[in-house]
Amino acid sequence: MDFELSNEQQLLKDSVDRLIADRYDLRARGKILESDAGWSREIWSTLADLGFLGLPFSAEDGGFGGGPVEQMIIQEAFGRGLLVEPYLATVILGGSAITLAASPERRVEILGGVTEGRRLLAFAHGERLSRYRLRQVAATARGDSGDWVLDGEKTTVIHGGEADTLIVSARTSGGKDDEDGISLFVVPANTAGVTVRAYPTFDGMRGADITFASVTLTSDALLGEADKAYPVIEHVEQHGIAAVAAESVGLMQAALDMSVEYLKTRTQFGRPIGEFQVLQHRAADMYVAVEEARSIAIHAAMMVGEADPAARRQAMATAKAQIGVSAREVGQSGVQLHGGIGITEEYAIGHYFKRLSMIERQFGDVEHHMALLASLEGPG
Amino acid sequence: MDFELSNEQQLLKDSVDRLIADRYDLRARGKILESDAGWSREIWSTLADLGFLGLPFSAEDGGFGGGPVEQMIIQEAFGRGLLVEPYLATVILGGSAITLAASPERRVEILGGVTEGRRLLAFAHGERLSRYRLRQVAATARGDSGDWVLDGEKTTVIHGGEADTLIVSARTSGGKDDEDGISLFVVPANTAGVTVRAYPTFDGMRGADITFASVTLTSDALLGEADKAYPVIEHVEQHGIAAVAAESVGLMQAALDMSVEYLKTRTQFGRPIGEFQVLQHRAADMYVAVEEARSIAIHAAMMVGEADPAARRQAMATAKAQIGVSAREVGQSGVQLHGGIGITEEYAIGHYFKRLSMIERQFGDVEHHMALLASLEGPG
Amino acid sequence: MELAFSAEELGFRDEVRAFIAKNLPASAKANGGRWPHWSKDDIVTWQRILNKKGWAVPHWPEEHGGTNWSAVQRYIFIEELLLAPTPEPLSFNVNMVGPVLCAFGNEAQKDFFLPKLRNLDLWFCQGFSEPGAGSDLASLRTSAVRDGDDYIVNGQKIWTSMAHRADWIFALVRTDPNAPKRQMGISFLLIDMTAPGVTVRGIKTIDDAHHVNEVFFDNVRVPISNRIGEENKGWDYAKFLLGNERTGIARVGLSRERLNRAKRLAEKLPAFNGALADDPQFRRKCATIEMQLKSLEITVMRVLDRQRRRNDSTPDPATSVLKMRGAEIQQSTAELLADVAGPMAAPTDAVRAAYEGDFPTELEETLGIIPHYFNSRAATIYGGSNEIQRNIIAKAVLGL
Amino acid sequence: MELAFSAEELGFRDEVRAFIAKNLPASAKANGGRWPHWSKDDIVTWQRILNKKGWAVPHWPEEHGGTNWSAVQRYIFIEELLLAPTPEPLSFNVNMVGPVLCAFGNEAQKDFFLPKLRNLDLWFCQGFSEPGAGSDLASLRTSAVRDGDDYIVNGQKIWTSMAHRADWIFALVRTDPNAPKRQMGISFLLIDMTAPGVTVRGIKTIDDAHHVNEVFFDNVRVPISNRIGEENKGWDYAKFLLGNERTGIARVGLSRERLNRAKRLAEKLPAFNGALADDPQFRRKCATIEMQLKSLEITVMRVLDRQRRRNDSTPDPATSVLKMRGAEIQQSTAELLADVAGPMAAPTDAVRAAYEGDFPTELEETLGIIPHYFNSRAATIYGGSNEIQRNIIAKAVLGL
């Protein structure tokens, strides 16, 4: 065990930190949000140029073979900058689905495109009534003489409106709550019968509701084995957990820093409010929450590649639960310490609070993961 | 609705407050605890003289017909004084069991004796493996040509070693976890086959483990209807809840008062520690917890006589849960505000903390009552 | 001591409930089911219905339209409104400036304003907070300088809720900058929002909505006749205002209404296993909130009862408990709702446009939930933050 | 960055575990299952076993018996001891006065004391707190006045854990009452508890036990040669002591051991429905504590790793997080156990007498639980209360 960054890792960190510091302050981000697209192709090209879009993919898939620590470094910086580009959707979720389930040719084709910034992916799995239950899939795909016919609806698909390539889960057998019988399909967004309704979400990101009405797909649309996609879906979500865990650490550290700064400068009753002991202690509790989140994000990075699904499941559930607890503590306290301005759009803290609140609700919330952990036999 | 005390209630309050103030300070109590019996017959006589021992019983049963408000007034003062005499066991638990289930003749006989201070009762229901589950009764009573033969063990019976008359639950039919099939018996403590092992408990009260080995009882030992004692047992425990709720209010108010006093007098870093804002806020949170407890103790008093068992069950579970939450908050904070001396026997706060901690574990803890509430259909 | 609601009180509750059921307009009823709840029109219409019934200002003196209800009746009334839910009588009018006018206004002021306040013919807003004076209200700097029969007002207010809907503002202004204490030298003025020099700038909040504003005064002429009470005594009137009529401050009915909504929604959604409504942890959270609300409700009644017997117009510091716990429980219920909605809470209102008029009604249920959660964070900040409430308890109640 | 335990580290853990399994005496093993855990004999015997193995003082310099283990190894070692559980190496000797002697003692002091500290031939206790100086340690008043080759010590210490078992005490005393700052003018003395004028008075605590004491010094003669380091520099050595070796401060293994105990006990007991071990709320509480412990454990390693690279003997303020969260989680596990035991936790130890030698072994399981819970409240008070730890974080880490 060794927590020191290697020279290469330090270089990567410097590079992404510089990008955020130079080109992604709250003003620049505000302009990006106001643009028609709501995100920046220019930034996206830069991410490609810096090698960030191909970071987690192996060299034979066209990527750069970065490991979990490298990924953590990047995501933390993205959190600090409140980056709104579709990195999570494309590189983490879409990318890991392809990495985990696609044939070598498919991997090269799709991930190569992602790495170069040409392709945008989205992972269309959640449905209106599924909430966090991964196995609850009502969309169907029916085999039809070698082809597949896809029907159903996916909701709040992260950056679903931006993607050219959708990875869609559908039930090919079994009941709507079975783990078995779910399959994944690669669906070009412009396929006939696909309707995408895209909209902004409260964290500055974007979502989409996507309907599939008798969408006909050829047999090679199937990603991996038919009926056996559940473990892939679970693992994709776990990659999502590791990514948002690291992102959260960046968000929380920034929220803490700006709250402490505010305590030092804002005066009330004739002195900086940071002299009030209850506010000092609240800031201290925020610090503790950030440290706990940082530790568990490291754990998540360490365990997201774990081969044993049971050990991985426990670790990722632990991580997401802790991140949720910390996110709520840090987000709410940050707003409270700022007082009235904390809930305005003009101040940064509210934006961090909003993104943290959204992350709480992505890939399962505290209660979901606590229920999962409570259902497991503890490590005793 | 009217929260003002009537003149009679105010007189009662003055009388019990005076008793505690004059004769039950921590020193006097310490002496009582050091005595062989661990409680005071002299105080008990005074309680009889003042009419407190017959307070809740009706005039035809030999009592004084006091209502729930009167009971609350008494119990709150007992809490403030940390009274260790067997009032809860005899008057509240034993008394309500007799009131609820005994024939008129039995009531006059037993409750008259209680009122005059001649008789001490105990309610022997809990067993080693029953924890808070009221229906879990393993002790058995077998009908034997008109008599009953009682076998089994009851544990941590409150003041079980002091009582001359035990009210004992036993299974007369059904499995060990059935509500049906439980009966109550009135058992003189000196009956052959009854072994009482009495000991002090951490709150200055006393408990006993009592074994029954082929104890033969005549048919008139049966209290109420055979097999149908469960609703009586539940109601007796609810009377216990109302009583300890009011007692807790007295305990908590005293704990708050002495903590605030300590904050005003103890100096560290050159000033009274009550000037530190975090300690002020912690005291404020204690105050809120006491107020919530006081409110819910009123609710418990209001509802303990409610005829509808479902409404009563919900109210008493709500009350005991809130009392538990407040007790923990107030007890723990009181100790923390006192620092090191808070955990010594020499200071009062520790004794209040201990009694509050025991009350948390009597008649069901927070989790038990929360589980009960969560199992009910909410009031919507 | 009599602990249960009396038969008369229960009868009164039924009467209020029946009145609401019969008279609440359909539009207000429908808007009560989404966030942000009501249009200006909903609020005005409902207050006029209540005024016609004689229920617009129950706690005012009878000669000005009050009902002479007991504290318990007033509590029952406001909680039934929150629970239904209906729009609330506009607090600025009925709980804030109205009672101040009743107590300290002159006859001309009373005659002119009180009927209009009751009937919501004039919508008031509150000009207390300033950029440098949040929790530290007494450090306010907006100035009013005499010029003939007028004051000339200059300065800025902030966090002015609903200023963009308001016709008038009641404001604290500094009339004597040289007063020996900061609480002295403040006056209480009523200012017409249409007067030249008044500018309102909306502040967008993180719930993507427009509730609060900055209000700028640039040489605004305010007739001296619009000052309430004496010059330089405004702090006393403000204290009276802040301590007055805390019947609804705990907002028990509002929290109950949200809790019920969360339970209804949970019936349709899954948890880790089974329906969310059957999830042990969800049920336990609901039971915890119900327990807290029961304790709070009885505490409210105890405080009201004590106020009745106290016969003292200074604020009871025990009301700080009601504000503080009420706000915390409101936040819990907003969190609970947001937790229930889960990922469905993410879309902004712009999602409607994406559906091009074909927006499914089921999606309405979760649409306002997360902004509502965001906005709920203000509950422990405005009107005296929870830190301030704890300071008050520590000092005024515990003597620390 | 390398995030997983290495194969060597895992191998080391197995080695420690195997050593404990093989060498922990039967009596210590049995006493580990009840409270209060160990007799003096258990503690001494086990420390001598460790000393023979060369593991009594892993973090000391190698020339004085240290092992030169990495921070991770030291962490693994202490956590395995706590988890087993075994008696811990006596902290006063090995974590407190020992390292101070290694760093600041003269050769004669080192030669005399260090071997005896390692082997627990001498049992030390700590004389820092005084009645008027709890959290405010620097206001201590016990005086030491020179008289020839001796100091004459007068004053009183309090909260002196295990003074009634101790042979020696290390104490802070005031040697210069006129120093310009309270932290100056303090010296660090080693005092023989058998010296004339030393009196120990036990303080009974609410767990009905005797852990802590008052220690009185009445004209006690202490040779100047028993002073560590320079006169009037004692505060520096005390700071070094308090900041030194925080490897075990979070006590993760201890909390894990309690959690495991609670789970085992829960299997035998009922909840509202079914076995307590299957109760959703109980399981969730366990899962929450496990989550907190996992976060804390990694935080410990990060702090240790940073200390390694920091190469600085001043305390890392981040260790305040470990102390504070460690104490909170210890209290949670003590609460959990007490909650599991329920009414069975009520009897005092006198219950044994009531059974007249016939005490059922099953009752042993719950007997010490509630005093242990009471005692756990001290975890957020001693060694720098949680309020002090938060002050440190706010000031030293956040710069407030």
pLDDT tens column, D250-285 = 999 899 999 999 999 999 999 998 999 999 999 999
- The answer to whether B123 touches B158, Cβ cutoff 8 Å, is yes
Q: Which residue in B has a C-alpha nearest to residue A276's C-alpha?
A: B277
- According to the model, what pLDDT value does residue A377 have? 67
Task: Provide CATH 2.40.110.10 ranges for chain A.
Answer: 123-227
- According to the model, what pLDDT value does residue B380 have? 40
Chain C partners of D284 at a C-beta cutoff of 8 Å? 281
Picking from B274, B302, B374, the nearest residue to C280 by CB comes out as B374
Write the burial class of residue B8 (CB in 10 Å: 0-12 exposed, 13-18 middle, 19+ buried): exposed
The rounded distance, in Å, linking the Cα atoms of C192 and C158 is 17
Chain D partners of A302 at a C-beta cutoff of 8 Å? 3-4
For the annotated catalytic residues of D, the residue numbers are 245
CA-closest candidate to residue C103, choices C61, C154, C67 = C61
C233-236, long-range: CB < 8 A, 24+ apart = C233/C187, C233/C188, C234/C172, C234/C173, C234/C175, C234/C186, C234/C187, C234/C188, C234/C189, C235/C138, C235/C172, C235/C183, C235/C184, C235/C186
At C311, the pLDDT band (50, 70, 90 cuts) reads low
Q: For the domain covering A7-119, report its CATH number.
A: 1.10.540.10
Can you give the length of chain C in residues?
A: 400
Chain B partners of A281 at a C-beta cutoff of 8 Å? 278
Catalytic one of C80, C88, C130, C245: C245
Task: Provide CATH 1.20.140.10 ranges for chain B.
Answer: 231-377
Task: Please work out, in degrees rounded to the nearest 5, the angle formed at the alpha carbon of residue D34 by the alpha carbons of D31 and D39.
Answer: 40
Distance from CA of B80 to the nearest CA of D (A): 19
- The answer to whether A68 touches A301, Cβ cutoff 8 Å, is yes
Q: Give the tens place of pLDDT for each residue, C334-384.
A: 999 999 999 999 999 999 999 998 999 888 889 889 999 999 999 999 888
Which residues on chain D place their C-beta less than 8 Å from a C-beta of chain A? Answer: 1-6, 9, 72, 260, 263, 280, 283-284, 286-288, 290-292, 294-299, 301-302, 305-306, 309, 318, 321, 324-325, 387, 389-391, 393-395, 397-400
Q: Give the tens place of pLDDT for each residue, D158-193.
A: 999 999 999 999 999 999 999 999 899 999 999 999
The DSSP symbol for D94 reads I
Best D83, D291, D391 member to test A by mutation, with max A CBs in 10 Å, is: D291
Write the burial class of residue C320 (CB in 10 Å: 0-12 exposed, 13-18 middle, 19+ buried): buried
- According to the model, what pLDDT value does residue A295 have? 96
Q: Which position has the token pair 């929290």?
A: C255
Contact A285 D260 (CB under 8 A): no
Per residue in B72-109, is it b (16+ CB within 10 Å) or e — as a string?
bbbbbbbbbbbbbbbbbbbbbbbbbbbbbbbeeebbbe
Q: Which residue in D has a C-alpha nearest to residue B206's C-alpha?
A: D347
Helix (H, G, I), strand (E, B) or coil at A272: strand
Tokens describing residue C290? 């119900």
CA-closest candidate to residue D375, choices D160, D205, D214 = D205
What are the C-alpha distances in Å from B351 to residues A173, D279, D351, D374?
Answer: 65, 32, 20, 11
Q: How far is CA A372 from the centre of its chain?
A: 20
Measured distance between the N- and C-terminal CA atoms of chain A, rounded to whole angstroms: 23
The rounded distance, in Å, linking the Cα atoms of D390 and B359 is 32
Residue type, A131: R
Chain C partners of B291 at a C-beta cutoff of 8 Å? 299, 318, 321
- According to the model, what pLDDT value does residue B379 have? 40
A 10 A CB-CB count for A309 gives: 12
Whether B266 contacts chain C with CB within 8 A: no
Residue C90, beta-bridge partner list? none
Contact A344 C353 (CB under 8 A): no
- The answer to whether A122 touches A58, Cβ cutoff 8 Å, is no
- The answer to whether C231 touches C288, Cβ cutoff 8 Å, is no
Q: Which residue in C has a C-alpha nearest to residue D279's C-alpha?
A: C280
Can you give the length of chain D in residues?
A: 400
Residue type, C272: F
Measured distance between the N- and C-terminal CA atoms of chain B, rounded to whole angstroms: 23
In terms of pLDDT, which residue wins out, D219 or C367? Answer: D219
- The answer to whether D154 touches D177, Cβ cutoff 8 Å, is no
Tokens describing residue D23? 């060498």
Distance from CA of C280 to the nearest CA of D (A): 7
Q: Residues of chain B whose pLDDT is less than 50?
A: 378-380
Tokens describing residue A182? 């779910």
- According to the model, what pLDDT value does residue C280 have? 93
A121-124 vs A165-171, strand pairing mode: parallel
Per residue in D136-166, is it b (16+ CB within 10 Å) or e — as a string?
bbebbebbbeeeeebbbbbbbbbbbbbbbbb
- The answer to whether D256 touches A343, Cβ cutoff 8 Å, is no
The rounded distance, in Å, linking the Cα atoms of C19 and C17 is 5
- According to the model, what pLDDT value does residue B190 have? 97
The dihedrals phi and psi of D72, each to the nearest 5 degrees, come to -65, -40
Distance from CA of D204 to the nearest CA of C (A): 30
- According to the model, what pLDDT value does residue A209 have? 98
A 10 A CB-CB count for A218 gives: 9
Distance from CA of B82 to the nearest CA of C (A): 23
Q: Please state whether D365 falls in left (phi above 0), alpha (psi between -120 and 50) or beta.
A: alpha
The rounded distance, in Å, linking the Cα atoms of D365 and D342 is 12
Q: How far is CA C156 from the centre of its chain?
A: 22
Tally C-beta pairs within 8 A across A and B. Answer: 8
Q: What is the ipTM of this complex?
A: 0.94
Output the pTM of the full model: 0.94
Q: Give the tens place of pLDDT for each residue, A11-38.
A: 999 999 999 999 999 999 999 999 999 9
Chain A partners of D296 at a C-beta cutoff of 8 Å? 292, 295
Least confident of A69-78, B249-258, C321-330, D239-248: D239-248
- According to the model, what pLDDT value does residue D315 have? 67
Q: For the domain covering A231-377, report its CATH number.
A: 1.20.140.10
- According to the model, what pLDDT value does residue D314 have? 65
Contact A298 D291 (CB under 8 A): no
User: Which value, in Å, is the radius of gyration of the alpha carbons in chain B?
Assistant: 21
Neighbours of chain A (3+ CB pairs under 8 A): B, C, D
Contact C343 A362 (CB under 8 A): yes
Task: Provide CATH 1.10.540.10 ranges for chain B.
Answer: 7-119
Residue-wise pLDDT tens for chain A (380 aa)? 678 899 999 999 999 999 999 999 999 999 999 999 999 999 999 999 999 999 999 999 999 999 999 999 999 999 999 999 999 999 999 999 999 999 999 999 999 999 999 999 999 999 998 999 999 999 999 998 889 999 999 999 999 999 999 999 999 999 989 999 999 999 999 999 999 999 999 999 999 999 999 999 999 999 999 999 999 999 999 999 999 999 999 999 999 999 999 999 999 888 999 999 999 999 999 999 999 999 999 999 999 999 999 999 999 999 999 999 999 999 999 999 999 999 999 999 999 999 999 999 999 999 999 999 999 864 44
Contact D3 A370 (CB under 8 A): no
Q: Say how many CA atoms lie within 13 Å of B305 toward its Cβ.
A: 12
The fold of the B123-227 domain, in CATH, is: Butyryl-CoA Dehydrogenase, subunit A; domain 2 (2.40.110)
- According to the model, what pLDDT value does residue D34 have? 72
- Four-residue CA torsion sign, D330, D331, D334, D340: negative
Whether A136 contacts chain C with CB within 8 A: yes
- According to the model, what pLDDT value does residue D4 have? 73
- According to the model, what pLDDT value does residue D246 have? 67
Residue type, C60: W
Contact C391 B370 (CB under 8 A): no
The dihedrals phi and psi of B143, each to the nearest 5 degrees, come to -70, 135
Q: Which residue in C has a C-alpha nearest to residue B291's C-alpha?
A: C299
Picking from C5, C263, C309, the nearest residue to B1 by CB comes out as C5
- According to the model, what pLDDT value does residue D123 have? 97
In terms of pLDDT, which residue wins out, B100 or D38? Answer: B100
The rounded distance, in Å, linking the Cα atoms of B292 and B301 is 14
Tokens describing residue B356? 């509050």
The rounded distance, in Å, linking the Cα atoms of B250 and B74 is 10
Tokens describing residue A163? 């993607």
Contact B292 C324 (CB under 8 A): no
Tokens describing residue C156? 């800025």
Residue D144, beta-bridge partner list? D153
Distance from CA of D280 to the nearest CA of C (A): 7
Mean pLDDT of D332-361: 94
Which ranges of chain C does DSSP label H, i.e. alpha helix? 7-23, 26-31, 40-53, 71-83, 91, 98-104, 107-118, 234-243, 252-266, 280-310, 319-341, 351-354, 361-367, 369-376, 386-392
